[in-house]
Amino acid sequence: MLSHKLNSGINGEAIIPGDKSISHRSVIIPSISNGICEVDNILKSDDVMHTINAFISMGIKIEEYKKKIIIHGKGLHGLKKPLTEIYLGNSGTSARLLIGLLASQNFKSILTGDESLSSRPMQRISEPLMQMGGKIKTTNNSLPIYIDGNELNSSDINIDIPSAQIKSGLLLAALKTKGITKIIENNITRDHTEIMLEAFNANIKSRKDDKIKIITIEGNKEMTSKNIDVPSDLSSSSFFIVAALINKNSKLDLKNININPTRNGILLALKKMGARINLYNERYKNNEVICDIEVLSSELNGCELDSEMAKLMIDEYPILSVAACFANSPSIFRGLNELRVKESDRLNLIYLNLQKCGVKCKIDGDDLFIYPEINYKIQDQIIKTDFDHRIAMAFTIMASKIGSLKISESECINTSFPTFINEFKKTGGIIS
């Protein structure tokens, strides 16, 4: 895919698909609840389809009706042993959440993925599950993973890694575990799982104590399905927000965007940089905070973000780095170690590709330094993505300012935003 420089700004309204994190949970939680759930605005990306197919393989009836999917839940004890291994493609969310859920079932299962997913660390979820009595065998701490489902023991578990996926996997395991499981989260992470479990009448409670969150869940309580309207994804919105900010004569509108305070770091960071972003019509949908967003072309300032900010927006650093290239002063983003274990080594890819684009930058430990001194003579570079959707989209936006770039393996965008190219073209982007 080639992305070219814009002749004019980003304008109009971009239709942003459903939130990816919530979409995964909108399949998993209704499948193990009692009753029928209608899910509207679910993200129909490759990653979410792998989650849907996983539950179909375990005996859950999931059908499509008009623009909704209908899930016929079978309760906590309704899943059946899949006839074959469960293939999850490139979806780390699917893998880590399902490892937790399957550890407490009464059957064996095998999880596999593509080359990228099979290189990602899974001991971070398998080890606390084994602390609960789970029988899990990884392949060099990665996929394929062999799970011998059994009755787990309620436990007190400390989570030091800032990961909503680990927390969610443990919560799903605790749902079918007798007694009370306590999860101590030492870094606040996105809380979509807790919100949805509470809405579905799980026996879950949480409280915050400074930077620590303590979650207790009493297992073996059946849940009741409710219909879900998935809000639009802030992470996907961020590419269009930055495109509008850095391109002159832009005025962009985004509707129904999820601004959950555990993941709104990209908005906080961009506003710190002087971005003209207006949030309005704030409201609640399925206990999630949503709003509409107006974005105007802006003169951005560089900024320094500490490692605490990384916990609120780790997925958005590729596109934030693009924004920093067009600020009027340098930026420093600290504590980006988690970027090294995403779909790719994102920290290294950001650095390598910014250099290809003529941007002066450096990595020092886990900190990224960006100096907005661009050599605009560098064009027609091939952007290395390692099949990482966020790298591909971020450098598509980069090209809207500096000129033609070839985005390798651009089909990876389908893992999270299948309509990205069409929406970008609709608002003024030029892609061939």
Active site (catalytic) residues: 315
Coil, strand or helix at 56: helix
Residue 48, both tokens? 């979410």
Rounded distance, CA 430 to CA 208, Å? 46
Question: Is the torsion defined by CA of 57, 113, 230, 166 positive or negative?
Answer: positive
> Residues for the chain: how many in total?
432
Helix (H, G, I), strand (E, B) or coil at 39: strand
Q: Is the Cβ–Cβ distance between 404 and 3 less than 8 Å?
A: yes
Cis upstream peptide for 144 (omega within 30°): yes
Backbone dihedral angles phi then psi of residue 359, each to the nearest 5 degrees: -95, 135
The DSSP result for 255-312, as a single string, is: EEEE--TTS-HHHHHHHHTT-EEEEEEEEEETTEEEEEEEEE-------EE-HHHHHH
- CA 395 to CA 349: how far, in whole Å? 11
Q: Where are the beta strands (DSSP E) in 19-91?
A: 34-40, 61-65, 68-74, 86-87
CA distance 311 to 262: 9
Residue 370, classed as helix, strand or coil, is strand
| Cα gap 2→119, rounded to integer Å | 28
The separation between CA 251 and the C-alpha centre of its own chain, rounded to angstroms, equals 26
Tokens of 29: 């939680």
Neighbours of 280 (CB within 10 A): 8
- Rounded to whole angstroms, the Cα distance separating 420 from 414 reads 8
